[in-house]
Amino acid sequence: MEGTTGRSKSEMESGSTSNNNESHIAFKEGSWFGQFKNGSNPWMARYVYGLIFLASNLLAWAVRDYGRNAFPEMERLKNCQGGRGCLGAEGVLRVSLGCFAFYFVMFLSTAGTSSLYNCRDTWHSGWWSVKIGLWIALTATAFLVPTFIIQIYGEIAHFGAGVFLLVQLVSVISFITWLNDCCQQDKTEDKCHIHVMLLATAAYIICIVGIIMMYVWYAPEPSCLLNIFFITWTLVLIQLMTSVSLHPKVNAGILTPGLMGLYIVFICWCAIRSEPAGENCIRKAEASNRTDWLTIIVKKEAPVGDAVPYGYGFFHFVFATGAMYFAMLLIGWNTHHIIKKWTIDVGWTSTWVRIVNEWLAVCVYLWMLVAPVILLRCRQTNESA
């Protein structure tokens, strides 16, 4: 009897597991709408969360530039102080607060999820009507919050936006080093050698051309000392990264410093473009009429067994800090800054944030190169002692 009972129990468990797998496979083979409705595809869920994030960005921009015409009823709210507390820069912070609250709730409710087919996985990949309603409710509630809380959130958002930049920075460096490691593997080294040389050469050529064009566009006169310093120091940092990477004790190759060079040249360009309009040293286009592009890199790997394909908690944490980041872009990193229409991330604060981000990127990259050498030497010293 005991053997029969144990056997029937195991059959029930295996049957339940197989039913879960079959239903999950059936959902994944269905249409996109079916997957959206049934919450069966965590990969597709990322795009839905991205659309919610985009909607928050567009709403914040509309509140900032067209709030008085598009949302005149806000002026009647008690906390809006005739529109001053809900439109402009403070309106951006209120939309950002609602977006941050939504993704932070998602972070708390999905952090630590390790396997598919459970309630937290279903919550992450499904229940869209509830979550969209939650996002709308939190965004609306943010406009009922007293002004002093919004001001406190604005100060905290500076730190949160910095965390987002750091996550983005580490993601870019990790991707570059991962690509270099793949090309240096024994099985693919011969095959990738030519491709690595071509890619590294192209990267350095683009870096040099970018440096030259920045001198032409943004340092046309000797009096443009700050821009000359930014551009020249970027060139020095590229040389420093290349020298350290090619050092015999490091031997990291030529590809990673070339790709990092592209990254810091791009950051330097964005920093100079963030300088306020009207500066005599900026010839190419207007400094403020542009948009900012950000990329969240999520490493895609095939899940092992029932493991989740990516970290749900970290995914929502990045979006939560990204909500703070887009607020800083729209207000120029200054909660008391009045920014013109159709402008993003303009002002001296924005410029210095990007420059510091560039220097930090180089420091993190150099540390990733020399840390193994230092740790190896320390280990050898301890063993000999």
Number of domains into which the chain is organized: 1
The pTM score is: 0.66
Q: Is 370 exposed, middle or buried (0-12, 13-18, 19+ CB in 10 A)?
A: middle
Q: Is residue 299 part of a domain?
A: no
Q: Is residue 301 part of a domain?
A: no
Q: Is residue 24 part of a domain?
A: no
Nearest to 55 by CA among 123, 170, 138, 174: 138
**pLDDT tens-place string over residues 189-246:** 666 777 788 888 999 999 999 999 998 888 888 788 888 999 999 999 999 999 998 8
Range of the domain at 185: 33-281+310-380
Q: Is residue 161 part of a domain?
A: yes
Question: Which amino acid appears at position 238 of this protein?
Answer: I
Q: Is residue 163 part of a domain?
A: yes
Nearest to 288 by CA among 347, 338, 363: 347
**pLDDT tens-place string over residues 240-266:** 999 998 888 888 888 888 999 999 999
| pLDDT tens for the 385 residues of the chain, in order | 445 444 444 444 444 444 444 444 444 455 555 555 555 577 888 889 999 999 999 998 888 877 666 555 555 555 555 445 456 778 888 999 999 999 999 999 888 887 777 788 888 888 889 999 999 999 999 988 888 888 899 889 888 888 888 888 888 888 888 877 777 665 556 667 777 888 889 999 999 999 999 988 888 887 888 889 999 999 999 999 999 988 888 888 888 889 999 999 999 988 888 777 655 676 543 434 444 433 333 544 444 557 777 788 888 999 999 999 888 888 877 766 656 665 565 677 778 888 888 998 899 889 888 888 888 888 877 777 6
325/300 Cα distance (integer angstroms): 24
CB 240 within 8 A of CB 327: no
Query: Which DSSP string do the residues of 17-50 spell out, in sequence order?
Result: HHHHHHHHHHHHTS-HHHHHHHT--HHHHHHHHH
Q: Is residue 14 part of a domain?
A: no
State residue 52's pLDDT score: 93
- If you compute the radius of gyration of the chain from its CA atoms, what whole number of angstroms results? 25
Q: Is residue 362 part of a domain?
A: yes
Tokens (6 digits) for 93:
């912070």
